[in-house]
């Protein structure tokens, strides 16, 4: 049985603020992350992309136009150009180094969006000693494993798309030893509640993950009724855009102290 990585050790389920917390469209800004911390959060989720000249940014999309007042592909632009973009027309895009510096007590679920971000993430984890405060995620298991291979100490990790699909489709049928081998470098499954009409999270699927020595987190849940339903099923964490609503659920269930 796997011993949980320090990142995942908690007596209660984890509440994870997805791209921070902003009702004003300021996702992945330092203002949004500070707002999540002000709600009581320790865990925040974010994404990283890297500019043409190698500056790694805390930003979800490969291009600027949806979330900022500028246009263009981040991977094709130098940082001197990208730094003029404002999230929601108001807030600068933080670099990964600025992000870590601004949140000295937080824990980070980081989705590696491009190959250019692999080296910088690994270098900063090593330099800042963040091994116990980071979970490395990516839709690409290749990128995820490249980060892990560059680290001197183990960190928590969640699988990419291919391994997640394999778990969902084959998990009920494969012998546990084969599934453990397939997920040997994975610590936590992070999946949606449903995929179309297919329900992915049930008491049985949670128990199966736990038998494999894995935690199970569910994204991105913005309905308090669904949050409560998932906690009743025994999930180990919930990601949300509505940090305010999830904080209320955490307190109502006694997971967090009442302010």
Ramachandran angles phi, psi of 210, nearest 5°: -65, -35
Q: Which residues, listed in sequence order, are joined to residue 50 by a DSSP beta bridge?
A: 56
- Is residue 18 part of the annotated active site? The answer reads yes
CA torsion sign for 218, 248, 16, 133 is negative
Catalytic residue among 60, 131, 210, 217: 60
- Is residue 131 part of the annotated active site? The answer reads no
Crossing angle (nearest 10°) for helices 141-149 and 161-170: 110
Look at the block and give the residue holding tokens 């999830």. Answer: 246
Hey, what are 14's tokens?
């984890």
Alpha helices in the chain (DSSP H): 30-38, 79-82, 96-102, 118-128, 141-149, 161-170, 176-182, 203-211, 224-233, 243-252
CA torsion sign for 20, 101, 106, 79 is positive
Which residues are identified as catalytic? 18, 60
């Amino acid at each position: 049985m796997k011993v949980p990585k320090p990142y995942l050790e908690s007596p209660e389920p984890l509440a994870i603020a997805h791209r921070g917390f902003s009702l004003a469209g300021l996702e992945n800004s330092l203002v949004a992350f500070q707002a999540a911390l002000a709600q009581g959060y320790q865990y925040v989720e974010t994404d990283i992309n890297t500019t043409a000249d190698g500056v790694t940014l805390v930003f979800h999309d490969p291009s600027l136009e949806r979330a900022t007042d500028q246009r263009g592909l981040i991977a094709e632009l130098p940082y001197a150009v990208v730094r003029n973009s404002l999230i929601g027309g108001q807030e600068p895009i933080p670099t990964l180094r600025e992000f870590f510096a601004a949140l000295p007590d937080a824990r980070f679920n980081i989705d590696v969006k491009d190959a250019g971000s692999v080296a910088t993430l690994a270098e900063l984890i090593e330099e800042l000693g963040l091994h116990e405060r980071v979970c490395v995620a990516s839709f690409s298991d290749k990128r995820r494993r490249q980060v892990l291979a560059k680290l001197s100490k183990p960190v928590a990790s969640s699988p990419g798309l291919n391994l997640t699909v394999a778990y969902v489709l084959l998990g009920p049928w494969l012998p546990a030893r084969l599934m453990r081998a397939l997920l040997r470098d994975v610590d936590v499954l992070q999946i949606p509640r449903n995929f179309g009409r297919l329900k992915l999270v049930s008491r049985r699927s949670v128990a199966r993950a736990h038998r494999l020595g894995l935690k199970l987190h569910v994204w991105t849940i913005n309905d308090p009724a669904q949050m409560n339903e998932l906690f009743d099923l025994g999930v180990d964490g919930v990601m949300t855009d509505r940090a305010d609503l999830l904080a209320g659920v955490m307190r109502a269930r006694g997971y967090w102290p009442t302010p």
